[in-house]
A and B are shown apart, each in its own frame.
Chain A
């Protein structure tokens, strides 16, 4: 490990961002795992690419705000579009989502050669956490704090809805509102991790931490706080290690989280593959 780097302000910002995004998205991954919709998260993350491309295409410049709003717009459009199509009862929502997001992704790929900011665009596709500026930190911090606050305030109605929407509605929970809220927060969380890991890898941060915890414990609250800890610590460790191994920090974060998941899968005291064999 290169300890000189620690004094570099870029590096410091990168570590802070990784830790914070890792925690906030790791916390949120608890909802993704409980809701069993990792696949739709993956679809939404791919949708952010055409969103960013469109943002640049329309404004002619690549800035954080263009990219953020483009990504958010596209994810909301495709996500809500799939819900609307599924309402017709003819096409199932997963099918609708797959159709819409691949079409949007294709449109994004078609649009890419027409943009002259391709070099920088790679930052958004795959993330470039070393390049984060102060604005990025504040955006990530703002979104993360907002998500944490809202989900903690509404933890009970959210859990009721995720567990059994009908029973929740019979208890007076505004189920429709909560479902849209979770979706909106999910899109926000995805967008906030763009700078760190890019749109394609953002799924890793939003699924893996709580998936790992779910192999270790049955406690619902642990999915959130444990997911946050694994996400935060894993991301910081990954950024620290990435230099040593000479790989980019974005992929390093998702690799480290993936390795932690595999370790839990194999060696979890309660549900591990090996530990169950030994019994």
Chain B
């Protein structure tokens, strides 16, 4: 399956590879991540799995450039990412967002364009088109004039994804995107992530439900401050490894 993804990515003719080497992060001398290395390419959906406090959110934030790293390099398409990249989009956990903020869905998606427009430039027809396209591909056109607080959980996730699309981000860094979604919304989001990956994007998401990993993701990183395993989901999700990571048997 992941081979076809690589194909769809390769036809863009770019070298779309994300390489992380020896990444370490600490908060006030407490080590949160140590020597994380991985290489993946666009077209993939990568799950970050591990117990609470394993550093899943920290890894996403470090890649997005939100927290300083002690050591390590991040390469995207062959170029070192020093602090942040316009091609990365970070989506916070849903409960971290102030949903009562008075802004419409369209307004939220337009914010994604600011890296292109800068702080002053007005929106051009091209910007408006990018916003329209993002809204359309996440089926939000009908909801574009709604306030974000009026959205359901799944719609809120989609609004942030649309914002990332308007930004023309290639790497989507999602913190627990499936948490709190009902079955339907989960399904829809799963399909959307598959579509986004198929279009040539790289999806990295922290995820805590081991049962749904195989159908939602192509690759998995098992994390517990250090990287315990990384590779295709079928190879990585072995009962032994999971038991070692979570100190408890698989399943419920």
Q: How far is the CA of A162 from the CA of B64 in the complex (A)?
A: 19
The minimal Cβ–Cβ distance linking A32 to chain B, given in whole angstroms, is 14
Look across to chain A and name the residue whose beta carbon is closest to the beta carbon of B27: A89
Give the contact-size bracket for chain A.
20 to 34
A166→B92 contact, CB < 8 A: yes
Chain A window 134-177, contacts with chain B (Cβ cutoff 8 Å), 1 for yes, 0 for no = 00000000000000000001101101101110110111100000
B89→A220 contact, CB < 8 A: no
Contact status of A220 and B111, CB under 8 A, knowing A164-B97, A166-B96: no
* B231 contacts partner chain A, Cβ-Cβ < 8 Å: no
A170→B89 contact, CB < 8 A: yes
How many residues of chain B have a CB within 8 Å of chain A? Answer: 33
By a CB distance below 8 angstroms, the chain B residues around A164 are 92, 96-98
Among A36, A156, A219, point to the contact of B119 (Cβ < 8 A). Answer: A156
A172→B98 contact, CB < 8 A: no
By a CB distance below 8 angstroms, the chain B residues around A166 are 61, 64, 66, 90, 92, 96
B98→A170 contact, CB < 8 A: no
Among A34, A89, A156, A170, point to the contact of B66 (Cβ < 8 A). Answer: A170
Additional A-B contacts beyond A170-B173, A220-B102, A220-B103 (14; CB < 8 A) = A156-B119, A163-B98, A164-B92, A167-B91, A167-B160, A169-B66, A170-B84, A171-B84, A171-B86, A171-B112, A171-B115, A214-B102, A218-B104, A220-B107
Q: How far is the CA of A223 from the CA of B120 in the complex (A)?
A: 20
Sorted nearest first, the 6 A-B pairs with minimum C-beta distance are: A170-B90, A170-B64, A218-B102, A156-B119, A169-B66, A172-B84
B65→A169 contact, CB < 8 A: yes
Question: Can you pick out 11 interface pairs between chain A and chain B where the beta carbons lie within 8 Å of each other?
Answer: A153-B120, A154-B119, A163-B98, A166-B66, A167-B160, A170-B64, A170-B88, A171-B167, A220-B102, A220-B103, A223-B102
By a CB distance below 8 angstroms, the chain B residues around A223 are 102
The minimal Cβ–Cβ distance linking A152 to chain B, given in whole angstroms, is 10
Within A178-225, which residues are at the interface with B (CB < 8 Å)?
214, 218-220, 223
